[in-house]
Amino acid sequence: MEKYEYRPSGVCSRQIFIELDGDTIESVSFIGGCNGNLQGIGALVRGMDIHEAIKRLKGINCGGKGTSCPDQLSRALEAVLDKQS
């Protein structure tokens, strides 16, 4: 099991913690942001392939910010893939 930490930008959440088992997302948790919604995102991506999660979350916009917590999670997952290459 590998653990990663990501600092999002442009959103209310301040940190994202990710645990992976190979390419499978074991858990995701956020510090800050809309707690209920972010717990829901974490529950929805649990057990999901990292590539599928990126595909589904990338580009989601919140309030005209050009990003969102789900989009930032996709960026965090892309950063994990970059580190693994």
One digit per residue, the tens of pLDDT, for the chain of length 85 reads 999 999 999 999 999 999 999 999 999 999 999 999 999 999 999 999 999 999 999 999 999 999 999 999 999 999 999 998 8
DSSP 3-state of 70: helix
Query: Which domains, ranges and CATH numbers included, belong to the chain?
Result: 2-84 (3.30.390.50)
Token pair belonging to 69: 């917590």
This prediction has a pTM of 0.96
Phi, psi of 14 (to 5 degrees): -105, -25
* Residue 2 parent element (H or E): strand 2-6
